[in-house]
Structure 1
Amino acid sequence: MKKIVFICMISAALFACKSASSTTASNEATQLSTKLDRPTQVALKGNWILTNVSYPGSDYIKVNSFDLADSKCFIGSTWNFISNNNKGSMTLNAPNCTAFTSPIVWSINDQGLFVLKIVDPGVKSKNVKSGYLLKVAGLTDNSFQLIDNINVGGQTKDVTYQFQRAN
């Protein structure tokens, strides 16, 4: 019986692991502080490479990051953050994954939340109504993490995206 319950839990996790932050971003946007953390935004200015994605159970569970692709496809992706206008871009270019490039709109509020909006082609950034909320952690001159939350079998788990500054 335990084996059946375990298999059911793993099956549910494989099909139900999606970022919880997208609903958070759209539903709580009106409750978020509109004050920005300018010093942290300026610290992120420039080009970055996403070097690792980690989360509990990563050998067994697939995570669809930002409703775009498997989290493993984000490893090696390049990100550009422009701090004076809160725009930028992201490019996924991992082998065996579909290539993807998109403009982004981002900010960091005074609560330490990274607000990310992915802008679809032909859409003005001001018309993008949904996005993602992530926590900023471990910020140094050359690295930082963005931490997302996913729901795995009714439990919230952290997905950590590790960034290194590009040369």
Structure 2
Amino acid sequence: MMKNSIVLFVCALVLTSCSISKDVREQRKTINGNWVLENVGYEGSEGSFKSMLFNDANGFCFEGSTWYFLENNSTGSYTIPTSNSVCAGGVRNIRWSVLESESGNDKLQFKYIDEKKKDLYGRTGYRLEILSLSASQMTLKSDVNVDGSPVSVVYNFTKQ
């Protein structure tokens, strides 16, 4: 009888350590669906910036991009419009999750995957701080350095 109790305790411990918090589960449900990246802005420094976002394209190429997040299998994609000859338009497949933060805002993280859902670049990915999230709006932020000075890239999304 004691042996069965120990086995049940260990199983319960493993299950609870692998589960995600209620807050993260709610954020994932809210993020689930189609979004449009309306605006990419910069904070923390004056002037104009030419930025390469996510090792993919210039910041202005992402404005108007559509993002799809599927909560039940943590996959999705974003599509950069082909309306500009400077931007390499098309679909990029991603695997995403929400990383809970004990000291501040949670983070949306993603990495690139292929059509068979295999990682493209190993463990390389991106983390964006979730500044605000509602049923219709999402604002994310990533911090970078430009010539030794901190600059924040702010992404404003609208849910479709």
* TM-score normalised by length of structure 1: 0.72
Which of 39, 53, 65 is the matching residue for 1:52? 39
Which of 50, 53, 64 is the matching residue for 1:62? 50
**Residue 55 of structure 1 aligns to a residue in which SS?**
strand
Q: Is the Cα contact below 8 Å between 2:32 and 2:69 reproduced in 1?
A: yes
The separation in 1 between residues aligned to 2:54 and 2:71, in whole angstroms, is 21
C-alpha spacing 1:125/1:138, structure 2 compared with 1 (3 Å): same
Q: Is the Cα contact below 8 Å between 1:49 and 1:77 reproduced in 2?
A: yes
- Please give the per-residue CA displacement for 1:4-46, whole angstroms capped at 9, x wherever unaligned: xxxxxxxxxxxxxxxxxxxxxxxxxxxxxx8641110111010
Q: Is the Cα contact below 8 Å between 1:35 and 1:109 reproduced in 2?
A: no
Partner of 2:5: none
Q: Which amino acid aligns with 2:112?
A: I
Which of 80, 88, 93 is the matching residue for 2:68? 80
Q: Is it true that 1:151 corresponds to 2:145 in the alignment?
A: yes
Greater strand share, structure number: 2
Residue 136 (structure 1) shift:
0.7
Q: Is the Cα contact below 8 Å between 2:137 and 2:158 reproduced in 1?
A: yes
C-alpha spacing 1:127/1:73, structure 2 compared with 1 (3 Å): closer
C-alpha spacing 1:123/1:43, structure 2 compared with 1 (3 Å): closer
- Please give the per-residue CA displacement for 1:60-118, whole angstroms capped at 9, x wherever unaligned: 22110001000000001000001111111110005212212111100002211111112
Q: Is it true that 1:138 corresponds to 2:114 in the alignment?
A: no
Q: Is the Cα contact below 8 Å between 1:77 and 1:94 reproduced in 2?
A: no
The separation in 1 between residues aligned to 2:41 and 2:91, in whole angstroms, is 22
Which of 92, 95, 98 is the matching residue for 1:108? 98
Q: Which amino acid aligns with 2:56?
A: L
More RCO (CA 8 Å, sep 6+): 1
Q: Which amino acid aligns with 1:62?
A: K
Q: How many pairs were matched up?
A: 133
Partner of 1:42: 29
- Aligned Cα root-mean-square deviation (Å): 2.2
The separation in 2 between residues aligned to 1:147 and 1:126, in whole angstroms, is 24
Q: Percent identity?
A: 32
Unmatched 5+ stretches in structure 1: 1-33
Q: Is the Cα contact below 8 Å between 1:142 and 1:165 reproduced in 2?
A: yes
Q: Is the Cα contact below 8 Å between 1:118 and 1:131 reproduced in 2?
A: yes
Unmatched 5+ stretches in structure 2: 1-17
Residue 49 (structure 1) shift:
0.4
